[in-house]
Amino acid sequence: MTMNDQPGKNEFERVCKTLPPVEVDCSGWESDIPDEAWSTGEFVSPTVALPAVEADCSHWLDEPATWLELVIAFNDHTSPADALESTNQLIGAVHAEAPRLGLAYDFRHSRREGEDLILALRPTGAGTEQELRDLAARVRLPHAAPFKRTAARVGHGAA
């Protein structure tokens, strides 16, 4: 089945008003060259029509099977500003460690566990679950203040 054979339901309806064509005669342009000097005809567009590219996006909002979890605890009396800045730096460093995974903040799985903050980062790019595991094993997380404790692990969705 080609794209053009898809059933019409669930398709966008275009909101547009068709205006009549506007005819333009340009024969007076570039008049410094005499009319008889102009070669005439129709342009040829030498493109090659490739087959349509189908993209199934139905899984875009699916629950991810696995994600990276950063476990963070802050020292007592850490200011909110320090906590936010350090967390941002941490996420940036982890993302830079494996850019092809396209790690993005996962608000559904980010949570609090006791005094630990669990930051979930969901892969949105290429990569396998094993790459996520490798990243969790190798990524070097800061342990100095304002962090009391940091760790990386892989979280799992319901099977």
Partner 1 sequence: MADRVTPTVRLVFACDKADIDPGDQKWVLKHPWSVVVLPPGAAFPFQADNVRVYAQFTGGVGTFELAVELFQVRDDDSRRWVGRSVPATLDFPGGQQLLAFDTAFQIKKARFREPGIYEFRATVDGHQLEGAHFLLRVLDRWA
The binding site for partner 1 (CB under 8 A) comprises 14-30, 33, 37-47
The DSSP code sequence of 71-127 is: EEEEPTT--HHHHHHHHHHHHHHHHHHSGGG-EEE-TTT-EEETTEEEEEEEE-SS-
Least distance to partner 1, CB of residue 37, Å? 6
What is the three-class DSSP state of 149? strand
Q: Residue 37 or 144: which CB sits closer to partner 1?
A: 37
**Shortest gap between Cβ of 45 and partner 1 (angstroms)?**
5
Q: Which is nearer to partner 1, 19 or 126 (CB)?
A: 19
Tokens representing 140 are: 């070097």
Which C-beta is closer to partner 1: that of 34 or that of 114? 34
| Least separation in angstroms between CB 29 and partner 1 | 3
Residue closer to partner 1, measured from CB, 29 or 60? 29
Nearest distance in Å: CB 49, partner 1: 8
Output phi, psi for 87, to 5 deg.
-65, -40
The whole-angstrom separation of Cα 68 and Cα 129 is: 10
Query: Residue 96 has which token pair?
Result: 């830079």
Q: Is 108:158 a contact under the CB 8 Å cutoff?
A: no
